[in-house]
Structure 1
Amino acid sequence: MTGSTRSSGGLDDRRKRLLFRCWHRGTREMDLILGRFADAEIASLSDGEVTELERLIEVPDPDLYAALTEEKPPAPAYAGALFDRIKAFRATGLDV
């Protein structure tokens, strides 16, 4: 997979920006994890979950990747239900 498989059509501007940012992280591994999650879930996220995802994408790639792959525990600031959903989603997809 080389990028988003989801059209941004029908999404509000906030979700469009977030979808783009999830696919353009800076490291390919994080593009695949967050981008695939956003493709699948962005339209159904609540406003609160969108806010939480916006905070998560500000976490540096090495720190977030290490937490998602269980190399180290997540920082309390971003551990939560959405983080757990992303981690579970990652486990059902590609081995990144």
Structure 2
Amino acid sequence: MTELSPQRQERLARLKFRAWHRGTREADYMIGCFFDRFHSEWTDADLDLFERMIDEEDVDIMAWALGTLSIPEEYRGPMMDRMMKLDYVEIPR
């Protein structure tokens, strides 16, 4: 396993916080669980895309993932395809 640079560790910590502190429990679980499940596989370009995406409104991100709103061209691709599967969401009971 490759050791992460301090800069990448800091970036991931910042993104994790932002992914899990969205404002609603539903958005926290959808976006936070997605981040937790897949961030270790992401390239710098993927991190850039995720960072831009989470600047968007939660209701839009959730609607894209649920397929109830058309996904903007800039977010179409493998990351959003994966997010739309929703099999990464773990809700504690």
After TM superposition, list the pairs within 5 Å mapping 1:14-93 onto structure 2: 14-88=11-85, 90=86, 92-93=87-88
Percent sequence identity is 32
Larger radius of gyration: 2
For the aligned residue pairs, the C-alpha RMSD in angstroms reads 2.1
Structure 2: which 5+ runs fail to align? 1-5
Q: TM-score, normalised by structure 2?
A: 0.78
Q: TM-score, normalised by structure 1?
A: 0.76
SS at match of 1:12: helix
Q: Name the structure where helix makes up a greater proportion of residues.
A: 2
Structure 1: which 5+ runs fail to align? 1-9
One-letter amino acid matched to 1:45: W
* Count of equivalent residues: 85
- Moved segments of 4+, more than 6 Å: none
